[in-house]
């Protein structure tokens, strides 16, 4: 049995693939920023905050990390309208991905903050540094260096996970591929091209993150 590969019909729809790729990048970049902000705020509250702050954060982290992303996405897009809160597909995707990444980021940032020895903080206090100076020079930079590889990996995984938003008809790269497949019936060719696109994006992100790490930490 032979199979004739025909990529012509797939590449003829390059404009649809490009639009989907742009949305995938937008979702990835905006979610990375929001997820990191949630991670920093949540981890700070969980490490340094009072009990009434730590407990809700812990519940949020455990609830998100122990439920599937697609369930969270469906809950936001299909469930919240029952409570009078309605998002379009792109907004729901952004909210769901940010909430999901935020929970994982909290744990990564928390681990980095708690890895700083207490003796270093006490040394900063003995030198007369203010609380902000201790956090900036003694805690933040060494913690960021330790947590950066895990955060970078989580960001790449997030980019790959954006493909799930096609399930609520968000016009991302995978959704565009599904539309092209339904029109051309070239299943292998369509998904081979999309797999190559995701692979290329992952490699590009990893190179960018590696470059940032070198600029911030390795050359110091």
Start-to-end C-alpha separation, the chain: 59
CB atoms within 10 A of CB 8: 10
Is 3 among the domain residues?
no
**Could you tell me the residue range of the domain that residue 129 belongs to?**
8-218
- Give tens-digit pLDDT for 137-175: 788 788 888 999 999 999 999 999 999 999 999 999 999
SS3 content of the chain, % helix, strand, coil (to 5): 85, 0, 15
- Give tens-digit pLDDT for 20-77: 999 999 999 999 999 999 999 999 999 888 999 999 999 999 999 999 999 999 999 9
Alpha carbons 192 and 168: distance in angstroms, whole number: 23
Is 89 among the domain residues?
yes
- CA 179, 182, 184, 185 torsion: positive or negative? positive
**What confidence score (pLDDT) does residue 196 get?**
96
Return all residues near 57 (Cβ < 8 A) that are at least 6 apart.
Answer: 42, 45, 46, 49, 106
Is 1 among the domain residues?
no
**How far, CA to CA in Å, does 218 sit from each of 80, 149, 175?**
45, 12, 39
- Asked if 155 and 198 count as a contact pair (C-beta separation under 8 A), the reply is no
Q: In CATH, what number is assigned to the domain containing residue 90?
A: 1.10.3720.10
Is the pLDDT assigned to residue 220 strictly greater than 70? Answer: no
The length of the chain, given as a count of residues: 220
Is 99 among the domain residues?
yes
Alpha carbons 146 and 40: distance in angstroms, whole number: 14
- Asked if 70 and 164 count as a contact pair (C-beta separation under 8 A), the reply is yes
Phi, psi values for residue 70, rounded to 5° = -65, -30
Is the pLDDT assigned to residue 132 strictly greater than 80? Answer: no
Report the number of distinct structural domains present in the chain: 1
Which tokens go with 17?
């693939």
| Confidence band, pLDDT 50/70/90 cuts, at residue 129 | confident
- Give tens-digit pLDDT for 70-111: 999 999 999 999 999 999 999 999 999 999 999 999 999 999
- Asked if 162 and 27 count as a contact pair (C-beta separation under 8 A), the reply is yes
Return all residues near 134 (Cβ < 8 A) that are at least 6 apart.
Answer: 121, 124, 125
């Amino acid at each position: 049995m032979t199979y004739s590969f025909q990529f012509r019909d797939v590449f003829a729809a390059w404009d649809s693939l490009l639009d989907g790729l742009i949305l995938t990048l937008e979702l990835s970049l905006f979610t990375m920023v929001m997820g990191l902000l949630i991670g920093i705020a949540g981890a700070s509250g969980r490490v340094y905050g009072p009990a009434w702050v730590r407990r809700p954060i812990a519940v949020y982290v455990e609830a998100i990390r122990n439920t599937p992303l697609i369930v969270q996405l469906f809950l936001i897009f299909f469930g919240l309208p029952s409570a009078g809160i309605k998002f379009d597909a792109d907004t729901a995707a952004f909210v769901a991905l940010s909430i999901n990444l935020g929970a994982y980021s909290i744990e990564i940032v928390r681990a980095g903050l708690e890895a700083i020895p207490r003796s270093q903080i006490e040394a900063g206090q003995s030198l007369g540094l203010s609380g902000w100076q201790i956090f900036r020079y003694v805690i933040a930079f060494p913690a960021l260096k330790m947590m950066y590889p895990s955060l970078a990996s989580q960001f790449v995984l997030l980019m790959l996970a954006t493909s799930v938003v096609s399930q609520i008809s968000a016009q991302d790269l995978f959704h565009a591929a599904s539309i092209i497949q339904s029109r051309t019936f070239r299943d292998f060719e369509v998904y081979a091209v999309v797999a190559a696109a995701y692979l290329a994006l992952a490699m590009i992100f990893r190179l960018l993150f590696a470059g940032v790490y070198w600029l911030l930490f390795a050359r110091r």
